[in-house]
Structures are given as structure tokens and as C-alpha cells.
Chains A and B, each alone.
Chain A
């Protein structure tokens, strides 16, 4: 059963909304919204289907959060965007919000934000005002875990907030310099969760923290199963276990297991999708060999199948960033990815084939899928 979907697309130069028919065959484009603003993330609240937030900044101006409460028809700016407390001992100031996460189903109006430099912020009023989460931002280890000047070329980031759908107190973070952090008390305290996750770039290749966790995802069919696309490989962890398994070892050696993101199947706990990139030598971060492909596992990562039908067979140098690959909840499940070259691709048959939905957009930073209103 499929239904009309909307894709919320954040780019380096503004945002777009694509809305489909029920068959997901034809797409209608709305936008640009906020042309020229850098939109790192663009989400709709699944609890009401109408509240939308964008993490926005520009080349010149400081960051803000843009809000709509009518499904994108009208927009206002947050009254108090994420900001560190004045006089912060590390001198931190939010450069941009990177990740926006609607809160737990039991907590309407709650949203979470991850920022650069790394910080965690919470809103209790639908994104209108934001508070610094002291349990992380003032943690005794924060300078070691999340140094403001460390991490990725575009600035150190707290790149992801992931909630356990069964328990609002249980939160995972993916970060660029402390790997995965876990809280069991809704952000009051945190513990690294990085056993057996490799750091090729540190003297100790298996430290307690220091990993660059590009993306983590809980399997919708089994929230005790975590998938991780790390800077150094693809991993899986079944809780309550604490030792990650590098399932990317089963990827073809000529492709490798480097990438930005992983998408678990919406109904099958054994299935997930990755979009590998070239992590050799100087890290080109493009499709290996210029042959873009999704890889799918249907056995928990023991083996991977190449899925490239519809993609260019050669000279296709795609890069798909952290937030730019996602799935929907339809049956068959749809897959959507946006490229740094401004193309949107989709599969309506669970990865068997892909087709281009749009081209010529600015560099795409995020793609999220949700049922259309």
C-alpha cells in the first residue's frame, strides 16, 4: 500500500518541498523557500503532520530556526534559537544547527537539536524557544568528548539525536568526535557506546571515545538493533549488547564500507541500505569508481547486494551526505536520496531500481520523507 508522500529537501541555497501522488509516480515541486539560506535540516513533526522546522543560516548571518505550523504555507522565525549560555566556559557560540529531531510521541511539542560546535538543545514549545541541555553541554568530559574546534572540515558537529520510540528517557547521539553517546535519563548523563568501533586516525584504534559516527539508525522493526555508518566502516549493535560488529567487512573490497549514512528497512529488521563513497587515499567522498550504487543487506549485514539499476553506469560521481538518504513507511518501501550535485533519486521498489526525480537543485544537504498532508 502506498500513499502520497512529501520530500522535504534542504540545500546549501534554500529549501524545496516535493509532493507526490498516491502512487509516488508524479512529483509536484514547491519552492524555493528561503532562497540563499543554508538549510542543514528540514523536518516535519510526525505527531501532528503540520509543524515543520528548518535549521537555517547563511554565509553571513548567524543561525536560526524557521517554523511553520501549517504544513509549510507560512513561516516564522524561532523567538529564541539554540544558543549556548552567555559566558560559556568554552566560549561556544552556535554556528549552525545541524540536526532537528521531533521528540517522543508521549511529549508533544518537544524537539531536539544538535549543533556545530557540538551542543544539544531542547525545545518544549514546538521549536519556538530552545534551552541548552546542561547534562551534555556542561558535562565534565565535554571538552574532551566534543571539542568546539575539533572534527569535520565544515566544523565539529553533534550530528544526530536518535530517540528510543519505547522510552522518552533513552537517547542516542551521533557525534564527530565522541562517536555514539547514550543517555538513559533524557540527557542528564551520558556514556560513550563505541566498543569495537575503529578510529583509523588515532594512535589507539579502538578508544573509548574519539570515533566519528557519521550516522546511526534504530531498526523501526526492532529498536534494540542499531545500524551505524561510521567514518571507519559499517557497524551493527544489538542491545543490550555493547560491542559493535563491523558488518561492513562483508562489503566488496573494491567498494569498501565508507559512507555517510544508513537506512534500515521499515519492516524487516534484517534489511538495511547504504550508499558507499570512496574513502581511499585523499578521501574523494564520491561514488567508488564513478559508478553510483546502493548496497542492500537482507541478512543483518552478513552479505550485501549491489543495487544500481537506473543509476549512471559510469562517470557518476555522486556524493550523498548524512541527512540526504531516507526511506518511507510505504509497502513497498520507497527510498530517496539527494546528491551534492543537486539531484534527487528515488526507488519505489525497495532498491531494485532507481529513477531521477529532480536535477539542477543546489547542493543537497538533507532529504526527509513523510506522508503528504
Chain B
């Protein structure tokens, strides 16, 4: 099981919940698992070429990744953030 932190920008999809469990052996599998339960959430984080969107950041624990192929281990924490941007 992977523990996922949902940023405020995406809590409209999760009915306000900020921490959700998910299944998957890679970042992409976890995002797809989330998308199956919260339709549309993945496309707002990752584009159609499987690139993490410019103003989104994904961490596995303390380590940032831009690759959705990044392997995950049971018990990992996946943190999704909206990057600093604004105006």
C-alpha cells in the first residue's frame, strides 16, 4: 500500500480528503489507481506524454521524481504538491 498526499488543488476530486491509500508498483500505477477512484485527477498532474506537468511536483518520501516510471515499494509515501507559482 502506498500512502498518497493530495494537495489542496486536487482535493475537489477526493471530496476534501488529503491523505489516501493507493496501490501500485510505480508512480504511474499509483496515479492510475487514484484516477480509477477519482476520475480526471491523473490528467491534471501528468500530461498525455506521461510528463509531470510543469507546475506540479511529485516526491517519493523526500526524493523528488519527474519520472512516472519510478518504482515504488510497499509502504512508500507519495507526495503531490503544486509547485510555487502564482499571480
Instruction: List A residues at the B interface (Cβ < 8 Å).
Output: 58-62, 64, 77-79, 81, 83-88, 91-94
Contact = CB atoms under 8 A, between A and B. Distances in A.
B43 A81 contact: yes
Contacts of A84: 48-49
A60 B51 CA distance: 14
Main SS at interface, chain B: loop
B10 A86 contact: no
A62 B86 contact: no
Contacts of B39: 77, 79
Given A59-B55, A59-B86, A64 B43 contact: yes
B50 A60 contact: no
B18 to A, nearest CB: 16
A60 B40 contact: no
A60 B9 contact: yes
B53 interface: yes
Contacts, number: 58
Contacts of B24: none
A59 B87 contact: yes
B55 A64 contact: no
Given A60-B55, A61-B53, A61-B56, A94 B83 contact: no
Interface string B1-44: 00000010110000000000000000000000000000110011
Most-contacted residue by chain B among A60, A81, A85, A86 (CB, 10 A): A60
24 contacts: A58-B9, A59-B55, A59-B82, A59-B85, A59-B86, A60-B53, A60-B55, A60-B56, A61-B9, A61-B10, A61-B45, A61-B56, A62-B44, A62-B53, A64-B44, A77-B40, A79-B39, A83-B47, A84-B48, A84-B49, A86-B49, A86-B50, A92-B49, A93-B51
A84 B50 CA distance: 12
Contacts of A93: 47-49, 51
A86 B28 CA distance: 15
Nearest to B56: A60
A83 B86 contact: no
A201 B50 CA distance: 35
Interface centre among A62, A79, A86, A87 (most CB of B within 10 A): A62
Contacts of B44: 61-62, 64
A83 B43 contact: yes
B24 to A, nearest CB: 19
Contacts of B43: 62, 64, 81, 83
Contacts of A85: 48
Contact of A62 (B47, B50, B83): B47
Contacts of B82: 59-61
A138 to B, nearest CB: 15
Contacts of B51: 93
Contacts of A60: 7, 9, 53, 55-56, 82-83, 85
Nearest to B10: A61
Contacts of B83: 60
Given A59-B87, A62-B43, A86 B48 contact: yes
